[in-house]
Amino acid sequence: MATVYKAKCHVLNRFVAVKILRDEYTTDTEFIKRFNTEAQAAASLTHPNIVSIFDVGNEGNLYYIVMELVQGKTLKEIISEDGALPWKWSVNVAIQIASALEVAHKNGIVHRDIKPHNIIITEEGVAKVTDFGIAKAVSNSTITAFGTTIGSVHYFSPEHARGGFTDAKSDLYSLGVVMYEMVTGRVPFDADTPVSVALKQMQEIPKEPIKLQPSLPISVNNIIMKALEKDPNTRYQSATDMLKDLTLCLKKPEENIAEKKQIEGDLPTQRVPIINSVSNEENKKPEKKKNKVVVFFEKHKVLKVFAFIIGAILLFAMVMGITYLITNSLREKDVPIINLEGMSLEEAKAELEKIKVNLEVEKEEFDAEVPEGYIISQNPNYRENYKIKEKSTIKVVVSKGKELVKVTKFVGMKKEDAVQAIKDLGLVEEVIEEISTTVEAGIVIRQEPEVDTEAETGSTVKIYVSKGNGITQVEVPDVVNQTEEQAVAVLEARGLKVEKKYRTDTTKSAGMVLEQDVDAKTMVDEGTTVTITINQLPEVKQGTVNVYVRSLTGYQPQKDENGVTIEPENVEVRIVVGEDVQFRESFPPDTEKVTANIQGIGNVIVKVYVDDVMRKTQTIDLNSNNTVLDVR
């Protein structure tokens, strides 16, 4: 009926959907009425599961409705992509739809076109009912919309198909069809023409969804079948009733809710005899003479009560005894279950015959690990100390062995395409690279096994791939500012050879790479030599300086006028290597010798001071072993 556009409202700064009636309908008064009906019906409804209407109007022959823009997919798109949906998710969606219908029905509005196409599931998982294009305000005189039956034939109710009266229960039938499609992935009725589908809607009983999806809970199955009742009187009478059952089935999925109940009084007309009537002949029968025992008990009523109680007890005991004997004779014996997995089918049959249990092959499957004719699994499963009844049946899945596939041609394909093709066949690839002067690198040269050979799934296919002329191009890495060891390791890992040069740069650490003769990121042949320049700083050496303080100062003890030795002041010994003061300490002037360690690179100038008086200056070579300078 209409085209829907995405638009932006500049007043409220939000995106909206604008539905505009198609041009071919703007001259049709009936369609304009339907279009306006949609606007009036939907605009009066406010519910989180109903698409909101913001504005309605027309400009000339342009009739439009401004509504909420819903981001998501239609339920039909989800079913088409995923097939049968999980029952809990389906029930939750059905609850939201039923909640929307409950509000619409209470406002006197029947949707009349409930189907997965008109239900949008938002990105947050919220169901939104849209398109009230054929919804109508309910009235007693409404039979069809404008004299025609409008709707989607796979989803509308039998009364809708007949063109009869449609009400809230018709929407619930359509919701039942939507639930059926969600849990099974298919609609209840399908045919080549719409008329054929409509006839099926009116005449045929749908196949129960639990037969298509055995894992479906019985409660969900019953809810769907009750919603799909042909007679509106046996269907759900309101969305509220259906909501109660949908909510209950989530809590108690295996409870047998929503069962179809027989309508009271629905019995055929028949002749019934008059109760308590007595024929004249019965009245004329003479009274029989009472038995002496009866007369005795009539006179002794207390004994009659005791006799009745004793008789009842004896009768009860006799019935219980007979029941026990019959039950024991009919009861099947319990036997321990046998683990059949890994047995051959013949072995399993022989073992089960011994304990009088039947074997049924449920299906056969290919299996890469279990040999052909051997059992993969069983139902019920084997459990220790678990028992089953005699004459019960164990169902088994039997292996057909490894699946055989025909090997296709991989020669001439790119390596990546060939590997994917091998995986798609259920085989395992083994890639072997070879030098080839005739085949481009990365192309398959030959294969094992050959084309059209049958191979078991999981077996290996060898493909020999060209690596070109054998000379591989590699990218030169950047090794500047790396240590000598790191640079050599990185270059050799790329298949490059390394030559070393040395020079001194006092601004950099020793052993660091200062430069490389091939720029980084340059593509070169594998095996190319790259020369790196390594920073080599001179080695710092150690030396010893012996300062003979007493000899240098010429110290002689001094005594005062009383003959007491005067305590002398300390003298400072300072040793300068080049420009660095490497030793400075004070000692008594009578100290025989002061030993100090110095360090430097190669030839150094050593200056020795005693109390700021230079006693000696000398150039020494620290590269010599055991360098010692004596200052006397």
Distances (CA, A) of 333 to 34, 348, 387, 394, 591: 71, 20, 10, 16, 115
Residues 613 and 522 in one domain: no
Output the CA angle 467-472-477, nearest 5 degrees.
140
Q: Answer yes or no: 113 catalytic.
A: yes
| Residues 383 and 336 sit within 8 Å (Cβ to Cβ) | no
Query: Does the residue 306 lie in any domain?
Result: no
Residues 246 and 341 in one domain: no
Task: Say which residue, 453 or 402, is predicted with more confidence.
Answer: 453
Residues 6+ apart with CB under 8 A from 167: 110, 138, 232
Residues 141 and 186 in one domain: yes
Residues 157 and 237 in one domain: yes
Query: At residue 29, what are phi and psi to the nearest 5 degrees?
Result: -65, -35
What's the N-to-C CA distance of the chain in angstroms? Answer: 119
Q: Is 278 left (phi over 0), alpha (psi -120 to 50) or beta?
A: beta
Give mean pLDDT, residues 510-514: 92
What is the β-pairing status of strands 541-547 and 571-577?
A: unpaired
Tell whether omega for the bond before 589 is within 30 degrees of 0, i.e. cis. Answer: no
Count of domains observed in the chain: 6
> Which residue, of 421, 446, 466, is where some domain finishes?
466
Residues 135 and 202 in one domain: yes
Note the pLDDT of residue 289: 53
Residues 6+ apart with CB under 8 A from 429: 418, 419, 422, 423, 460, 461, 463
In which band, very low, low, confident or very high, does the pLDDT at 320 lie, cut at 50, 70 and 90? Answer: confident
Note the pLDDT of residue 278: 38
Q: Is the pLDDT of residue 306 over 80?
A: no
Residues 341 and 224 in one domain: no
Residues 531 and 554 in one domain: no
| Nearest CA-CA partner of 337 in 361, 357, 307, 360 | 357
Output the furthest CA–CA distance in the chain (Å, rounded). 181
Query: Does the residue 258 lie in any domain?
Result: no
Note the pLDDT of residue 269: 39
Q: Is the pLDDT of residue 149 over 50?
A: no
Q: Is 440 exposed, middle or buried (0-12, 13-18, 19+ CB in 10 A)?
A: exposed
Residues 150 and 186 in one domain: yes
In which band, very low, low, confident or very high, does the pLDDT at 139 lie, cut at 50, 70 and 90? Answer: very low
CATH number at residue 353: 3.30.10.20
> Which residue, of 39, 68, 97, is where some domain finishes?
68
Note the pLDDT of residue 93: 95
Residues 85 and 221 in one domain: yes
Q: Is 179 exposed, middle or buried (0-12, 13-18, 19+ CB in 10 A)?
A: buried
Give mean pLDDT, residues 90-112: 92
In which band, very low, low, confident or very high, does the pLDDT at 132 lie, cut at 50, 70 and 90? Answer: low
Q: Is the pLDDT of residue 374 over 50?
A: yes
Provide the whole-model pTM.
0.43
Residue that has been written with the tokens 């045929």 in this structure: 204
Query: Does the residue 303 lie in any domain?
Result: no
CATH number at residue 186: 1.10.510.10
| Nearest CA-CA partner of 602 in 504, 508, 509 | 504
Catalytic residue among 28, 113, 192, 245: 113
Note the pLDDT of residue 142: 37
Output the CA angle 121-125-130, nearest 5 degrees.
30
Each residue's pLDDT tens digit, 35-68: 777 677 778 788 999 998 888 888 888 888 899 9
| Residues 3 and 62 sit within 8 Å (Cβ to Cβ) | no
Residues 215 and 143 in one domain: yes
Note the pLDDT of residue 512: 93
Each residue's pLDDT tens digit, 269-292: 333 343 343 334 444 444 455 555
Percent of the chain with pLDDT over 90: 46
Note the pLDDT of residue 299: 61
Note the pLDDT of residue 38: 67
Residues 82 and 183 in one domain: yes
Distances (CA, A) of 279 to 270, 276, 285, 287, 289: 22, 10, 10, 16, 22
Reduced to 3 states, what is the DSSP secondary structure of residue 247? Answer: helix
Strands in 53-59's sheet, in edge-to-edge order, are: 2-9, 14-21, 62-68, 53-59
Query: Does the residue 556 lie in any domain?
Result: yes
Note the pLDDT of residue 323: 72
What is the β-pairing status of strands 14-21 and 2-9?
A: antiparallel
Containing domain of residue 490, as a range?
A: 473-535
Note the pLDDT of residue 90: 95
Residues 6+ apart with CB under 8 A from 419: 429, 431, 463
Residues 508 and 561 in one domain: no
Each residue's pLDDT tens digit, 212-269: 999 999 999 999 999 999 999 999 999 999 999 999 999 988 888 876 544 444 434 3
Give mean pLDDT, residues 137-165: 62
Percent of the chain with pLDDT over 70: 88
